[in-house]
Chain A
């Protein structure tokens, strides 16, 4: 299976500051047939299912605040929260979805400093 590795495992950021989470795939998720990166980001709060934030590596899901952005291509991706809000405390996961078996990163726990 393709392995997704996130860094760091945990992160503490001050309110209003930038948070950056990285995700590295063991194989490229960029497919030449349509030039798209099959990479999504999810946010999970305690007791809740994951919530889709970003797909195609950089497309924000409807209703997701614009402080969330995704970037990267091929094997290296980044989720950025431009100005951390208290409600952003959560665990964040990357997800490769071109083909099954789908695989997820191990998660990055984001806290307030």
Chain B
């Protein structure tokens, strides 16, 4: 059974960078079948998919168009984890952030981190 453990700060100042990490147990970030995602949830936007990383002989990354240029999702094979960075944050980026895995790669999300409430405020 895959378990995902999130870590990172809950408060970020405007214009700074939001950084979260998701540690994987029970699977590998380099799996040739799984994908590793970030989703956020806020009252105004509901559930919003942000990013995906996966390995199929090489690394692939997909990002939400609205965040392109501000977001990266990087795997760390040495620690079996993946990390989200969202730059130049504003109060609109305040949300609960989740990491989530799709073990078969089909896209349905069968493992989730516990969630991190990130507040953007000075």
Q: Which residues of A contact B (CB under 8 A)?
A: 38, 40, 42, 48-52, 55-56, 61, 93, 95, 97-107
Contact = CB atoms under 8 A, between A and B. Distances in A.
A93 B98 CA distance: 15
Interface in B103-119: 106-110, 112-115
User: Could you tell me the dominant secondary structure of chain A's interface residues?
Assistant: loop
A55 B52 CA distance: 19
Contacts of B100: 49
Contact of A102 (B49, B114, B115): B49
Contacts of B109: 40, 42, 50, 52, 95, 97
Given A49-B112, A49-B113, A51-B112, A101 B107 contact: no
B52 A50 contact: no
B76 interface: no
Contacts, number: 58
A6 B64 CA distance: 22
Given A97-B106, A98-B107, 16 more contacts: A40-B107, A42-B109, A49-B98, A49-B112, A49-B114, A52-B109, A55-B106, A55-B108, A56-B108, A93-B47, A95-B47, A95-B108, A97-B107, A101-B49, A102-B49, A103-B49
Nearest to B102: A97
Contact of B47 (A51, A61, A98, A104): A104
Contacts of A61: 110
Contacts of A52: 108-110
B46 interface: yes
Contacts of B98: 49-50
Nearest to B65: A101
Task: Return the 4 tightest CB-CB contacts between A and B, nearest first.
Answer: A97-B107, A49-B112, A55-B108, A104-B47
A107 B65 contact: no
A35 to B, nearest CB: 14
B62 interface: yes
A51 B112 CA distance: 8
18 contacts: A40-B108, A48-B115, A50-B98, A50-B109, A55-B110, A95-B47, A97-B106, A97-B109, A99-B107, A100-B52, A101-B49, A102-B107, A103-B49, A104-B47, A104-B49, A105-B46, A106-B46, A107-B46
